Structure 1
């Protein structure tokens, strides 16, 4: 088994950060994000990259009227009510620019592009470890996003948990709604509790982006097969900072890709498209350099690019 590069993107627009930012200050940022999607697809086509787009289901809607029609049977009753996308939508639907909220045409563009997998990031950017939510509301969320995908003729087979809140006890619910594989967190201690997200966690995750061992890839045979197939993330691609740290960050990722290629391991790179929104040209330039390096590893070591679903099928066939 040759080295494998997996790329997954958490495609959210405002639904991924509504509890953290003032949307009035983010219009240009998310306008840039929308423009980035075709550019990312061009880069992926240029380098023959297979990519999984874990997409928030609310992006399937095209208006607030449609959003109001597409509500789940059971809502998550978070103790922290600010985490509810439904509360946010009802409060802001008369004031927020709709370009921050919908992306049906971009979803179509993704699904019409070669080697691109549309996956789910739940319907409402659902937080599976927060107090107040439960199995019933999570199942209702997945049922709704499954229904909207079917309207576009899509079968969603991969899932990425929002804020990386992986709830092991929800795997059977995933299976019941057609999910074959999920992305889980790296094994490092500072990725273990993303719900808590302490200062120490943040410091070590940030530092790890620039220095450390090339230990983020893993053996293909270590991919766990259970109720669903669990694929570990390796590296979050952080955006350009226009500082000396950028070269450290880039060299670290390229070294890790080459290490995975040389040693026939899996390397799973992920980010949010909106991470590129503040400086799109520089971020696309850096991504192109990373993908050029992958192409060299492809030629020299036989490394291949996979979507999450493709890697899962390979793992199941070779178990």
Structure 2
């Protein structure tokens, strides 16, 4: 890209991000902390007039449901032997505030900043597991499109749950145009050789986070890879304070590279993960983009610019 940009994508999922898993997710019991984080993020973005792509689980668009979604197939995974919908509480925002979040979507939609409401599937279904299929993903995407229509959100950007990219033909079939790919550094973390050490070295030396470019994968579909995860990434380095400082150093250097040579610095994280340090770092990243005169764009804007 001739004009560089910063992209921020936020996986907005609450308890759906842990659906089907017996895990300590460290969420508040009433959703108040998570909603406070989102409101603080909206305020921060407003102060910089910077839009983000909010990849929202479709079930969060609801205020209540009966727990039965007969139009959407319920895959059976090893992690969810009773079927994917078995854990749907079938309640309301008042009684299950981590499963319903129409108020959250309203806050994002009503922001004076033109944020993008993107898709994180309807139920945070896992797309690379045995028992899943293209047909299930199509139904999940159609369900998301139906509930998002109330907020004038059209199908454009997708973030796959847990970054498990699969069944791209389902995206094409349902009209989505771009998905977030994994960072070029992501495979190194799972390398059985020196890959993790290479990532460690990049952090230790404060190397720039990867600058990426959108890649056309089909005639009507693009991949926009991630650059960096704002949360303590790599997670097993999080206890080392100096590496957290390097996280911000890497982001700043990547933005400087974008300002000089173009490309995209694509930051991602989850709103529920934010703590004081992450808010400080995000503000510093937005200040760096402002200082270098690098615009903050949504995933949708990047692809529209690429095609113009």
Superposition TM-score tier, normalisation by shorter sequence: 0.7 to 0.9
1:173 partner SS: helix
Choose from 172, 175, 179 the match for 2:169.
172
Q: Distance in 1 between matches of 2:17 and 2:201?
A: 24
Choose from 262, 272, 282 the match for 2:270.
272
Query: What does the per-residue CA deviation read over 1:159-185, in whole Å, with 9 as the maximum and x for residues that have no partner?
Result: 001111111xx2221122221111111
2:88 partner SS: helix
1:1-319 equivalent positions in 2, closer than 5 A: 1-18=2-19, 19-22=21-24, 26-27=27-28, 30-63=31-64, 66-81=65-80, 85-89=84-88, 98-113=96-111, 114-167=113-166, 170-188=167-185, 190=187, 208-211=202-205, 213-214=207-208, 216-218=210-212, 220=213, 223-226=215-218, 227-239=220-232, 243-276=241-274, 279=275, 281-298=276-293, 303-317=294-308
TM-score, with normalisation over the residues of structure 2? 0.85
Query: What does the per-residue CA deviation read over 1:205-253, in whole Å, with 9 as the maximum and x for residues that have no partner?
Result: 66655546325003x4x53252411111111112586833322221121
Cα–Cα, structure 1 residues 29 and 74, in superposed 2: closer, same or farther, change >3 Å? closer
Query: What does the per-residue CA deviation read over 1:127-153, in whole Å, with 9 as the maximum and x for residues that have no partner?
Result: 111111111211111111111112333
Q: Distance in 1 between matches of 2:224 and 2:32?
A: 31
Q: Distance in 2 between matches of 1:208 and 1:71?
A: 48
Q: Distance in 1 between matches of 2:192 and 2:134?
A: 26
Q: Distance in 2 between matches of 1:83 and 1:306?
A: 41
Aligned partners of 2:209 and 2:253 also within 8 Å:
no
1:229 partner SS: strand
Runs of 4+ off more than 3 Å: 69-73, 82-85, 197-213, 239-242
Cα–Cα, structure 1 residues 152 and 115, in superposed 2: closer, same or farther, change >3 Å? closer
Aligned partners of 1:71 and 1:144 also within 8 Å:
no
Q: CA RMSD in A?
A: 3.0
Higher helix share: 1
Aligned partners of 1:82 and 1:88 also within 8 Å:
no
Aligned partners of 1:70 and 1:144 also within 8 Å:
no
2:124 partner SS: coil
Cα–Cα, structure 1 residues 82 and 49, in superposed 2: closer, same or farther, change >3 Å? farther
Q: Distance in 1 between matches of 2:197 and 2:128?
A: 22
Cα–Cα, structure 1 residues 13 and 210, in superposed 2: closer, same or farther, change >3 Å? farther
Figure out how many residues of one structure are paired with residues of the other and give that number. Answer: 298
Q: Which moved more, 1:172-181 or 1:45-54?
A: 172-181
Using CA pairs under 8 Å that are at least 6 residues apart, name the structure with larger relative contact order, 1 or 2.
Answer: 1
Partner of 2:235: none
1:255 partner SS: helix
How far off its partner does 1:20 sit? Answer: 4.9
Q: Distance in 1 between matches of 2:137 and 2:198?
A: 31
Q: Distance in 1 between matches of 2:288 and 2:7?
A: 14
How far off its partner does 1:93 sit? Answer: 6.4
How far off its partner does 1:44 sit? Answer: 0.8
TM-score, with normalisation over the residues of structure 1? 0.82
